[in-house]
Chain A
Amino acid sequence: MTEIFDRFGKPLGGIFLGLALLWLAGMVLVPGVFMINASLRPHLPPPLRGGELDVYVLDNFAYLINHVNHGRIFFKTVWSSALVTLVTLLLCYPIAFWLAKVARRWQVAVMLVLLLIPYLMNEVLRGLAWYIILAFSGPLNAILIGLGLMDEPVRWYGDGGVVAGMAYAYLLFMLFPIYNAISTLDRAQIDAARDLGASAWRIHRRVVLPHAKVGIATGCVFVFMMAAGSYVAPALLGAPGSRWFTQIVYEWFFEIGNWNRGAAYGVALMAMCLAVVLGLLALFRVNLASAVK
């Protein structure tokens, strides 16, 4: 904090700080307070609002817990987001290591361009690409049957399709933090470990992974938060049985029109995500500040 004042002087530093606080207040604090406030009030027709029935209750949360399906979908969303995170991590770590320590300069350039091109399209179009690939009479089934790996086409839409589509959509948010972290690893560390007789597995476990830990944690936080809050991929690639919790939140707000219950659902998801993220950071022994760096 004092560093800001030292560097920019009191007036300019104060303006920066004020803008940051304004941003936090406008984008996080006010909507957050509004949401929590709404989630704790009953849904009433306009004439009764502010009346004696308009008191703080936990009915909206109780509804979520007692609902036959919603609780299950809530946990499935969290669990599937964790799965998406794990899949992107397993995909990205080898690519990131290759980019940072193995590939030649031109290979890095080509690879980065190839990885970035899909991100020039928006998320809906990227989801649509998977919608086409995974279609019942689409290319994936055709190829798998053509190769003789399957006899019957498979219905990919559903949980599997959603995880695949999301893993693809959020790949770069995992890749870049890990790539950045591994790039800063001294090449001699790997050479030294190898010279001392360590296997590739041990070199990664004992030397590369500890160094890349902060990058991995950052990537996991990004991907998990985005997956849990995703709406497009489940809407496009899901099946009736694989609804995402965000879809239910959307229904409460805009289809049923019960903002209070929608707010409660949203707050519950937010709380769960925060808990998972903080748990994840504690597990990695990384603090929030260094993870965001």
Chain B
Amino acid sequence: MRFGATQAVKSLSLDVRQGEFFSILGPSGCGKTTLLRLISGFLQPTAGQVLINGKDMVGVPSNMRATAMIFQSLALFPFMRVWENIAFGLEARGVGTAERRREAERLLELIALPGYGNRMPGELSGGQRQRVAIARALAIQPQVLLLDEPLSALDLKLRQHMRAELRDLQKRTGVTFIYITHDQSEALAMSDQVAVMNGGELQQIGTPQELYSHPKTAFVAEFVGENNALTGTVTEVSGGTAVLEGPQGRFSGRAGAGLNPGAKARLYVRPEALSPSSETGENRLKLAIERFDFEGAFATAYALLQGTGSPQRMFMTISQQGLSDAPAIGAPFTAGFSAEDAIVLSDD
């Protein structure tokens, strides 16, 4: 998809299965909204196809597609009552008033807002408006619901609550959800499948677990969840394991795709895979803790890597129980991780 000289979405191909909660995750400007507008029909692709149920949708306008869109601003009609909002798609299809009213009531039940039909959208709370927007989209019985960061305007508590609610609605209705977000925790919490995008390109598609434990690119490793990165050059690749040598030392980890000896690469290790008392393996780091951020069930320790030219900050997760045995602030200690928990990815 091109806008003038800018290519907003580059060549990519993805399959969404019916009844799936599918998220498209990426930083702002990565092309995810463009992709959604291509699927919805608000934009037509410069090249390529959009298939829904195997049928090519290119050239088909948005209102003729089996999709319904939830806008970032929700775009509820402020001059219509809640039930008129919900039934607007039916009104456009020429459904009679009594039946529209009945259908709106049914959907209000579904979104747990029975009896709210006669209110105006302005009288509802943020979360309620959210649900009305979903009911309005569901009223036209779409096969695919497209959601463009609909939770971004809500505060944190409500956002977390709405995640569960969205997920639940999706499971109950069986409608395919394609959900756009820049918030990785949102995508991980709700989705069956997540596609990670960057710079108009598809980085990886997978379940949240796959993305977290088997990132395929450096971007995914850094964007999805927290990660520690160690840079260096690959010295050997054998049997699925790669060895990386860099200013911080010599480390080994699982080898990502397309790694060759001599290539610049990064080794990623999750904060929870780093432990202070590790005796095993060759992956050892000399650290000194700067501070602890206590987060309830666990604490995050921020530590400086010792003995290297440029100071690098690493962080590790320490469980509530482990906190009493944790090294003191400022005292150097050795931390380690197993090669199984680390992954080496080419750095580009």
Residues of A that sit less than 8 Å from B by CB: 186, 188-189, 191-199, 202, 206-207, 210-211
Q: Are A197 and B92 in contact (CB under 8 A)?
A: yes
Q: Are B75 and A197 in contact (CB under 8 A)?
A: no
Please give me the residue from chain A that is nearest to B89 by CB atom.
A196
Please give me the residue from chain B that is nearest to A209 by CB atom.
B79
Q: Are A188 and B92 in contact (CB under 8 A)?
A: no
Residues of B that sit less than 8 Å from A by CB: 40, 42, 61-63, 67-69, 71-75, 77-80, 88-89, 91-93, 136-137, 140
Which residues of the partner chain A approach B91 to less than 8 Å between Cβ atoms? 198, 202, 206
Please give me the residue from chain B that is nearest to A196 by CB atom.
B89
Which residues of the partner chain A approach B62 to less than 8 Å between Cβ atoms? 191, 194-195
Q: Are A191 and B73 in contact (CB under 8 A)?
A: no
Please give me the residue from chain A that is nearest to B79 by CB atom.
A210
Known: A186-B75, A188-B75, A202-B92. A195 touches B80 (CB 8 A): no
Q: Are A186 and B73 in contact (CB under 8 A)?
A: yes
Q: Out of A195, A199, A206, A207, name the residue touching B69 (CB < 8 Å).
A: A195
Give the CA-CA distance A197 to B94 in the complex, in Å. Answer: 10
Q: Out of B75, B80, B88, name the residue touching A191 (CB < 8 Å).
A: B75
Which residues of the partner chain A approach B88 to less than 8 Å between Cβ atoms? 193, 196, 198, 206
Which residues of the partner chain B approach A198 to less than 8 Å between Cβ atoms? 63, 88-89, 91-92
Q: Are B75 and A192 in contact (CB under 8 A)?
A: yes
Give the CA-CA distance A206 to B87 in the complex, in Å. Answer: 13
Please give me the residue from chain A that is nearest to B146 by CB atom.
A195
Of A189, A193, A194, A197, most B-chain CB atoms within 10 Å: A197
Which residues of the partner chain B approach A194 to less than 8 Å between Cβ atoms? 61-63
Give the CA-CA distance A180 to B42 in the complex, in Å. Answer: 25
Q: Are A199 and B71 in contact (CB under 8 A)?
A: no
Give the CA-CA distance A191 to B61 in the complex, in Å. Answer: 11
Which residues of the partner chain B approach A189 to less than 8 Å between Cβ atoms? 75, 77
Known: A206-B77, A207-B77, A210-B79. A197 touches B71 (CB 8 A): no
Which residues of the partner chain A approach B61 to less than 8 Å between Cβ atoms? 194
Give the CA-CA distance A210 to B42 in the complex, in Å. Answer: 24
Give the CA-CA distance A199 to B91 in the complex, in Å. Answer: 11
Known: A191-B42, A206-B88, A211-B79. A196 touches B140 (CB 8 A): yes
Known: A195-B63, A199-B92, A202-B92. A188 touches B79 (CB 8 A): no
